[in-house]
Structure formats: structure tokens, C-alpha cells
Structure 1
Amino acid sequence: MADELKRRLVHSSGAGLVALYLLADYFELGLTWPRFQVLMVVLAVGTIGLEFLRLQVGLDWQIYDKLTRDYEQDQFAGYGYYMVSMTVAVLLFDPQIALPAMLMLAIGDPISGAVSDDSLKFVKGPKVLVTMFVVSAIIAAPFLFEYPLAVLAAALGATIADGIKVRIGDYIVDDNLTIPIYASLLAWVVIEFVPV
């Protein structure tokens, strides 16, 4: 249980990237959106590099025992998907879409995990789904307030990604990969194609 709490705290720390961008933008410190995109690419490439060292070279830092789950010992870990998906969202979408999608992963996912019974169902229970939807909508509202339907669409995307497991063959797609992408994509579709 202590390791699970540590994982959730580390998961939530990704909100710091959003805070970094927002504060730098507010105080005009020069962290433009293109520079933030470069930062995210560097972080994602670094994460992939760490995973390569862990899986192929045998780098075995003790922190990996605390922050990875048993099933991740011999495969690409969730934190790698986390950084890749946030980076994809930042590269493909504007800040008003990408930033709340990042927060849905960083904050919404650990909160929904806290109310989950950790069972291996392919569709999570109503309490988890409603929690993720409400938290995600609250996160999206300040960024997408001009587009109320996009708030709901982003929350729906995050909820689907978090609440429904996708299986491809024997592989289950990690929700750390899908939450920001589904949320961003659905919000973008509504903004682009649904009349206000």
C-alpha cells in the first residue's frame, strides 16, 4: 500500500509540468509553447532512454522496485507511456486542449485509482467512471470554459480511456498512454466541428 501511495504521488507530480508552463507564461519568463513542446520531447526521449537502459542493459535502480508494478518488470513501464502520451498531446494540440488533458492523467487518474477496487475488470465500476468524469470536467472547465461541450467531451475521453481496458492480442493498452490522447482528441473534435 505504501508503494501504491508513492506511485500515485509521483503520478500527480506531472501536474508540475502544467504549472511550470502556466507560471512561466504568466510571468513572461520565455517558456513559449514551442519551447515547452521541445522540453516535453526531451523529457519523453529521456524517459524512453531510461526504459531502454532498464530493460535492455539491466540498469536496476532501487527506485524502479518502488515505482513500477510487478507486471512492468519486463516490459515498458507506465511512467514511460505517461511521458509519451503527454508529449503527443502537447505536440498535436493547442495549450487549452493539451494542458487539461495532461492534468486529467496527472490528477484524475490517481483519484479514480483511489476509489477503484483494483479488480481486473475490462470496464470499471460506476463509482470510478463517475469520479473520473467529474474530476476531468472540473479540470477542463477553466481551460475550455468557452466551449462547454468540449469540457464534457474531454472528460468523456478521459473517462473512456481510464475506465475501459483496450486489449490488442495479449497486450492491454496502458491508460497512461490513452487518457491525454482521448481527452485531447474528443475536445478538439467538438471545438472544430460542433457549432457553439
Structure 2
Amino acid sequence: MRDEILRRLVHASGTAVPLAYLFVPGIEWIHVQGLLIGGLLVALVLEVVRLVVGLDWWVYEKLTREYEQDNLAGYFLAVFSMAAVALAFEPTIAVPAILMLTVADPVSGLLGSGELRAAKEVTVLLVTFAVATLLAVPFVTPLAAVLGGAAATVADGIKPVIRGYVIDDNLSIPVASAVAMALAVEFLPASPL
């Protein structure tokens, strides 16, 4: 359980990126994009060292799950997806999508077992949906927030396995929620909730 809490704290530390953009004067979106690209390059080097060279630091034993031992680790997928949404979407979409990963997903993980399963319990998914939706409300229309929260919840609750590779929610939560919110803002802007 201690390793699970540590994993969730590392996960939640990514919240500093969108919060800096929102609350630190002088930080522009281009700075956030640059920071995430830099973080992605560092993470890529670390993953090459871990997976190709074989250097396995103690931190990987504590912070990676069993299914990540021979695949890209969740932290890399998180940085990758955060950078992708930061580059592909405006801040009003990207910020809540990133927050859904860095806040709603750790909440879900602490409430759930933290282990890989076919699906999570309904109550955990409802809490995930509520947290994800509330995170999006300040940024997008209510309907877009609900659709983004629903997309994040589905991505969090289902981890498909394709050819032995787990499609980790660190990759799918920001992307799915950003796409859902962007489509809702674009095509359903005046729809009441």
C-alpha cells in the first residue's frame, strides 16, 4: 500500500504544471509546452536506459507496476499524453485534461485496488467521473465538462490489452478527455446541460 500511495503522489505532482500556468504570473502556454517537451525528452532517455541498456534503479521497483517492467512505464506515458494535449489543444481544453490525469486518476487509484483489472468498481468510477467533471467546469461549458469527465472515466475504468501491451490510462485519460471536450465545445457550444 505504501508504494501505491507513493505512486499516486508522484502522479499528482504533475498538477504543478497546469497550476503554474494558471497562477504564476509570466508563465505563458508556450512555457508549459516547452516544459512538457523537455520532460518528455528526459523521460524518453530514462526509458531507453531502463529498457534497452538494462539499468534498473530502485525507484523503478517502487514506482512501476509489474506490467510496466518490460514496457514503457506509466510516468513516460503520462508525460507523453500531457505533452500531446498541450501541443494539440488550447489551454482551456488541455489544462482540464491534464488535471483529470493528475488529480482524478490518483483519487481513483487510491479508492480502487490500484491493481490491473478488467474494470473498476462502479462507486470508484462515479467518484472519478465527479472529480474529473468538476475539474473541467471552470474551463469549458457544462456539457463539455460532463463529456470530458465521462471520457476520462471510461479511460480510467478500462485498460485494454493489445498484443500483451496494456493501454495504460496515463496515456488515454488526457487524450480521450481532451478530444471529448474539444468536440463538445466545437459542435455543442450552446447546448444546455
Contact 1:115-1:127 at 8 Å conserved across structures: no
Q: 1:155 aligns with which of 145, 149, 156?
A: 149
Q: What does residue 169 of structure 1 align with?
A: 163
Q: CA deviation at 1:108?
A: 0.5
The aligned amino acid for 1:192 is: E
Q: What aligned pairs does 1:1-196 form with structure 2 within 5 A after superposition? A: 1-24=1-24, 27=25, 29=26, 31-118=27-114, 120-144=116-140, 147-196=141-190
| Percentage of pairs with the same residue | 43
Between the aligned partners of 2:179 and 2:134, the Cα distance in structure 1 is 18
Contact 2:17-2:32 at 8 Å conserved across structures: no
Tell me, which stretches of 5 or more residues in structure 2 are unaligned? none
Regions of 4+ moved over 6 Å: none
Q: CA deviation at 1:118?
A: 4.3
Between the aligned partners of 2:46 and 2:114, the Cα distance in structure 1 is 28
Tell me, which stretches of 5 or more residues in structure 1 are unaligned? none
Between the aligned partners of 2:154 and 2:132, the Cα distance in structure 1 is 11
Aligned residue-pair number: 190
Q: CA deviation at 1:136?
A: 0.3
Between the aligned partners of 2:72 and 2:183, the Cα distance in structure 1 is 30
Distance 1:13 1:138, change over 3 A: same
Distance 1:120 1:60, change over 3 A: closer
Contact 1:104-1:139 at 8 Å conserved across structures: yes
Distance 1:52 1:151, change over 3 A: same
The aligned amino acid for 2:106 is: P
TM-score where L is the length of structure 2? 0.93
